[in-house]
Amino acid sequence: MNESAASGAFSFAELNYLRLEAMDLFERCLTEGQTTPLETFVEQQISQEPPRLELLREVAEDLHQRLLALRENHFDVRERVLRTVRDDFSLDLSPLIPLNALESYHRLNPDDAIRFLGTQGALAAQEEHALRSALDASLGTAAQVHQDVVMTERLYDYVMDWLMGLNATMARRFWAESLLRPTTER
């Protein structure tokens, strides 16, 4: 009994360690701009016998949580620039960057935005410079966050595809084995 309790604790500790390792690799993917580090890790877990499905579920959940946080951050970047333009310059940029176009916010052309804002009132050179600086900073941040969102979605889908495939394979194997087992009569 003690042995099974100790092995359960080891498994839990190992699961947490591997989960932390996966998230470190995820951060590395974002930094390097490539998915290979986490994909290699997932493939190593799949090659285990039996595959570490619980770990893959946990990694998928962690990636999903990161994805939600990144999307919220992307929204916040847009909102901050809208608020800055509205509060500091009494102008409205929202028609150019509607909420339903959040995914493409980072592609907004600053010159188009300045021209659009100029139609709402004359801009002094200093105001135009300040607006351009705020837009450039916001768009740069939005582009990075968008890139992170796309990579996180890709990695999440990758893990989920493996997880669903392995679950289906395990279910088929269990079903086939149950057909081969002799039935006991009463």
Q: For residue 178, which amino acid is it?
A: S
pLDDT tens for the 186 residues of the chain, in order: 333 333 344 488 898 999 999 999 999 999 999 999 999 999 999 988 778 889 999 999 999 999 999 999 999 999 999 999 999 999 999 999 998 888 999 999 999 999 999 999 888 999 999 999 999 999 999 999 999 999 999 999 999 999 999 887 776 666 766 667 766 544
Are 143 and 75 a contacting pair, CB within 8 Å?
A: no
Q: Which of 133, 145, 134 is nearest to 105 (CA)?
A: 145
Four-residue CA torsion sign, 132, 133, 134, 139:
positive
